[in-house]
Structure 1
Amino acid sequence: MTDTAPLARRRDPDRKEKILAAAAELVAQRGYHAVSMADIGARVGISGAAVYRHFDNKATLLLALFDRSLDRLLSDESEIVDRRDDIPDALRTLIERQVDFVVDEREFARVYYREVEHLQPDDQVRLRRKQRQYVEKWVHVVRELDPSLDESAARVLVHATIGAIQSALVHNVGMPDDRLKAMLRRAACAVVGLPGSVH
């Protein structure tokens, strides 16, 4: 006798990651408040209701996006620092990675800086902890470059350097991305006192 019972639907094991990727893309294009769960589902090929099976609401999805973005930056940073013996080159590469993030994902980065304050306090603390981890590796590299700096001075330089890069988030000069990136890299290298040209 042939079994004619319908086959159980298989859940896509990568669906959650696809939802996050779609959300990041849509937020970058339209802004956080203009994107609905239905929009995100449609981009993945599922209903908005199906998105809720993975995320309770848009705020929890946003938090997952922030985690994903910070985790990626931390992973890239560790690879850059751990695999390079040339300290100036490591710092240049850290600057380039930060510039790429700010320029290529500027809409999402703007959402982070606007919306992080609206998350639950525990979530804010956890994300701030990741930010501190990210900054501390920069501090270590800057002190390797200039051993005369104490930790406080190095931290000031790092925040000023990252701040110079993030200045692109608060204004739009209509400059082509490649030229903007070059100028931000130059400005960041000047702040941190990094000699030589950037890549």
Structure 2
Amino acid sequence: MQELEAKPVTVREQRKAQRRQQLLDAAATLFAERGFAAVRLEDLGAAVGVSGPAVYRHFPNKDAVLVELMVGISEYLLDGGREVVGSAAVDVHTVRALVDFHLDFAFETPAFIRIQDRDLQSLPEAAQRKVRRMQREYVELWVQVLCAVDSELTESDARTTAHAVFGLINSTPYSAGRSPSRSARPVLRAMALGALGFSS
């Protein structure tokens, strides 16, 4: 059977996709700064230079913006974690790679951590369940790796350890501020690996 060629993306479609991404980026910043409840769709439009009604061409309501942000970042973490672990044999290098991956997330997208902490409950119920399911799967990915590296570690203790490391790394938006020092990442990396029982 002959494969159908992909339909070329038009300039208009490219611009629409770019505007949608600009709105999502603006939403991440505004939700993190003010909280979901305090931001209006008109605020999102103003942040990217369009009218409030123009935002409705991309999102039906403000809830849809929050859903896309939270589901998207949860998928990113889970998919990225799976990619780090891969299909190769798990060892201490896998643990270090997971720590580095989560550090990248914390330092590159701190707004999402603030939104997660404050506004997860604002998600519609179905989206909230989806986000929590992916978060649990991400935790269990860490649990499997930690147990594989340390055969004496129970799943319960591995889960507690993983959550403790997440708490440490996810403190970045609060502890490091808007402009983290150059030493912030290596300090957190050393602390996270130390909590896991490994050297940096």
Instruction: Output the amino acid matched with 2:156.
Output: S
Distance 1:86 1:124 in 2: 31
Larger Rg: 1
Distance 1:180 1:90 in 2: 22
Instruction: Summarize deviations over 1:67-98 as a string: whole Å, max 9, x none.
Output: 11111111211111105545211211111121
Distance of aligned partners of 1:26 and 1:175 in 2 relative to their CA distance in 1, 3 Å threshold:
closer
Give the secondary-structure state (helix, strand or coil) at the position aligned to 1:149.
Answer: coil
Query: Unpaired runs of 5+ in structure 2?
Result: 1-10
How far did 1:169 drift? 4.1
Distance 2:50 2:70 in 1: 23
The alignment's TM-score, normalised by the length of structure 2, stands at 0.78
Query: Unpaired runs of 5+ in structure 1?
Result: 1-8
Q: Which residues in structure 2 correspond to 1:1-199 (within 5 Å)?
A: 10-12=12-14, 14=17, 15-27=19-31, 30-33=33-36, 35-42=39-46, 44=48, 46-82=50-86, 84-85=88-89, 87-171=91-175, 176-194=180-198, 196-197=199-200
Distance 1:61 1:118 in 2: 11
CA RMSD of aligned residues (A): 2.7
Aligned length, in residue pairs: 187
The alignment's TM-score, normalised by the length of structure 1, stands at 0.79
Matched-pair identity in %: 36
Distance of aligned partners of 1:125 and 1:169 in 2 relative to their CA distance in 1, 3 Å threshold:
same
Instruction: Output the amino acid matched with 2:100.
Output: E
The answer to whether the Cα contact below 8 Å between 2:23 and 2:45 also exists between their aligned partners in 1 is: yes
Distance of aligned partners of 1:161 and 1:118 in 2 relative to their CA distance in 1, 3 Å threshold:
same
